[in-house]
Amino acid sequence: MNALELLWLIPLLPFAGAAVNGILVRNSQKGLATAVGIGAPGLSLLVALAALWQYSTTRPGETIQQAVYVWTTGGFSVDIAFRLDPLSAVMTFVVTLVGFLIHVYSVGYMGHEPGYRRFFAFMNLFMGAMLLLVLGANYLVMFVGWEGVGLCSYLLIGFYFEEEFPPYAGKKAFVVNRIGDFAFLVGLFALFATFGTLDFAGIEAQVLADPASATAPYVFGFSVAGFVTLCLFIGAVGKSAQIPLYVWLPDAMAGPTPVSALIHAATMVTAGVYMVARSNILYQLAPEISTVVAVVGAATAIFAATIGLAQNDIKKVLAYSTVSQLGYMFLAAGVGAYVAAIFHLATHAFFKALLFLGSGSVIHAMGGEQDMRKMGGLRRHLPWTYRTFLVGTLAISGVPLLAGFFSKDAILAGAWERSPALWAIGLVTAGLTACYMLRAVLMTFFGKFRGTKEQAHHLHESPAVMTVPLGILAVGAVVAGYAGKIPFTHLDWLGGFFAPVIAVIPGHEAQAGHHGLALEALLVSASIAAAGIGLLVAWRIWGRNRGLDGGSAWAARFPRIHHLLENKYFVDEIYDRIVVRPLAAIARACWKVVDILIIDGALHVGAFVTEMTGDLGRFSTTGNVRNYALYFFAGVLILFWWMIF
């Protein structure tokens, strides 16, 4: 049987799983819930692997379109169709594999939660939506998945809906995402109005046939491509938590840790990067927007990294690290290194999922405690967690020969080509990353335990169902890097594999990116140095069983900065002041003033005046018949006078 015919199964299976778990299964039937919840993504993983194997062996690089059914017709016609090409292939691989592992992990992690069944229903729903997103053959299907994952993120962040904060965080996430989606929609309208289709292939064909059609001036001095890409990028900013819309991601940590790992680290938040890469043909035609992308990415990267330095909640650290890494990816996409972007996306998926699950394992052991100040010295109690977490940390820090090293290096190389400034920022960020990640490790696993007695009593390594996925991910975090460009060699499997995805537009060829060994050596050593310095600094401050003292000492030395970082630059507060409250005030004004006071007021005044006229007028009927006679006579006279003249 031909697995490539079954693309539609890949998203459908998780959806089915979600439906079954959500509607048919009862809370009591935990085994069944587990079977369905694991089985659906498992099957979809198998189908995906089969399809990918068949794809990469039989027709690598080709684009496989598969229309399932016609969605709308009439003035606007679009199909529900799937597309398999190198880009979606890689994404599908990452999503299904990491997703499945996290599902397995969840069996252990969520084992004692009351909402077990609901959790898996939502997770499956998410898998389905995410796969729809990456496999969609046109922007509409992509958007459907795009909003679908947003919904799941809303539901899963608010998983503990009986508490105060999580639902609020979920709402925040959804609304902020909606801001992006709004721009996304406008982009789609512009696309359709220009090209008459939302099909990736169709648009690509038209642009290639006539690039001028895309570079034609449109609005506000933007070209078509410029306007569209800008809108799409705003959408990506929302989804992938970039400045200025990143604020929802840290709060999103209110959800269960596997959710953070799957949605807010490995897959959903990277959808923006995927979308930019998917639309690379347009971005190539809109250099000014690409620059915007790169700058925003770089800024986010360093900005979030600095915040990460001062966070004490282990998941918050990882969250800001995620934001920062996403910034890295956008930096790559912005400078035109789309391959590097996707490369980093993939590696990041592995080690960030690993880190989150590790932190989950820690929290699990700590009985829900997330504050690193109350941890410490856990490496003895949680050996496996410790090891895998360390691997992840080194990988993300860009320690040579681990996945992060390669992908980050590719990005920095790309950045250098565009502008040394961006490269420099990337470099500093790399250093910071290494620093705060090691800080996390040191505060969590080294020193002596700072938790309460009974916490110390309950400390235990997590069950195999949780540690095994950690192991697998750790392996991924080590080897994934070798898929991409390996410095000092011409080995670049990913690059070759991706060649057909990165459109080559007549007249807009990107300058070939192969520089001399000397330069390459320089860049590589620089990034190694950065990582090294970062790690060193972290060791100097938090290492050697100093516990918290080192950190607090530094905090005492720069109180202002520390305060600023600890409170995340007060961005939430600022937004609240300048956006939320004024809007609410306006709304209230509309309601109380315009509606009630002006419109209804006018009506009531009108009614009152009418009534008053009548009420005063009726006294003309005095009840004295002599007046009536007078009225009659007066009436006659007036009318006569009127008739005469």
80 bridge partner residues: 69
Please report whether residue 595 would count as binding other proteins according to CB under 8 A.
yes
- Burial letters for 193-232: b for 16+ Cβ neighbours within 10 Å, e otherwise? ebbebbbbeebbebbeeebeebbeebeeebbbbbbbbbbb
Stretch that binds other proteins, among 408-416, 422-430, 475-483, 631-639 (CB under 8 A): 631-639
Find the binder of other proteins among 178, 373, 374, 546 (CB under 8 A).
Answer: 178
Site map 36..75 versus other proteins, x via CB under 8 A: ---------------------------------xxxxxxx
Closest distance to other proteins from the beta carbon of 177 (Å): 9
Site map 563..592 versus other proteins, x via CB under 8 A: --------------------xx-xxx-xx-
Find the binder of other proteins among 94, 99, 130, 181 (CB under 8 A).
Answer: 181
Map the footprint of other proteins across residues 466-485, applying CB under 8 A.
none
Map the footprint of other proteins across residues 116-175, applying CB under 8 A.
143-144, 146-148, 151, 154, 158, 161-164, 167-168, 171, 174-175
Closest distance to other proteins from the beta carbon of 420 (Å): 38
d(CA 463, CA 112): 13
Map the footprint of other proteins across residues 610-629, applying CB under 8 A.
610-611, 613-615, 617-629
Q: Is 136 helix (H, G, I), strand (E, B) or coil?
A: strand
Please report whether residue 489 would count as binding other proteins according to CB under 8 A.
no
Closest to other proteins by CB, 191 vs 538, is: 191
Closest distance to other proteins from the beta carbon of 122 (Å): 12
Binding-site residue total for other proteins (CB under 8 A)? 79
Closest distance to other proteins from the beta carbon of 173 (Å): 10
Closest to other proteins by CB, 148 vs 297, is: 148
Closest to other proteins by CB, 37 vs 158, is: 158
CB-count exposure of residue 120 (10 Å: 0-12, 13-18, 19+): buried
Closest to other proteins by CB, 560 vs 626, is: 626
Please report whether residue 504 would count as binding other proteins according to CB under 8 A.
no
Written as six digits, the tokens of 159 are: 């998983």
Closest distance to other proteins from the beta carbon of 360 (Å): 23
Rounded alpha-carbon distances, angstroms, from residue 471 to 94, 358, 389, 446, 459:
16, 10, 10, 21, 20
Closest distance to other proteins from the beta carbon of 572 (Å): 17
Closest distance to other proteins from the beta carbon of 155 (Å): 8
Q: What is the largest CA-CA distance in the chain?
A: 119
User: 257, 316 in Cβ contact below 8 A?
Assistant: no
Compute the C-alpha angle 332/336/338, nearest 5°. 65
Written as six digits, the tokens of 639 are: 């009318």
Closest distance to other proteins from the beta carbon of 428 (Å): 35
DSSP line for 404-446 = HHHHHHHHHHHHHHH-HHHHHHHHHHHHHHHHHHHHHHHHHHS
183 contacts: CB under 8 Å, gap ≥ 6: 230, 231, 232, 234, 235, 238
Find the binder of other proteins among 32, 186, 390, 526 (CB under 8 A).
Answer: 186
CA-based torsion, 213, 217, 220, 225: positive or negative: positive
- Nearest Cα neighbor of 531 from 402, 433, 439, 442 is 433
Find the binder of other proteins among 53, 76, 569, 608 (CB under 8 A).
Answer: 76
CB-count exposure of residue 583 (10 Å: 0-12, 13-18, 19+): exposed
Closest to other proteins by CB, 41 vs 148, is: 148
Closest distance to other proteins from the beta carbon of 562 (Å): 33
Site map 189..228 versus other proteins, x via CB under 8 A: xx-xx-------------------------x---------
At residue 328, what is the residue type? Y
Closest to other proteins by CB, 518 vs 625, is: 625
Closest to other proteins by CB, 164 vs 454, is: 164
371 bridge partner residues: 313
Closest to other proteins by CB, 161 vs 558, is: 161
Rounded to 5 degrees, what are φ and ψ at 567?
A: -95, 20
- Nearest Cα neighbor of 456 from 516, 374, 345, 349 is 374
d(CA 2, CA 339): 29
Q: Is 71 helix (H, G, I), strand (E, B) or coil?
A: strand
Closest distance to other proteins from the beta carbon of 341 (Å): 26
Closest to other proteins by CB, 205 vs 634, is: 634
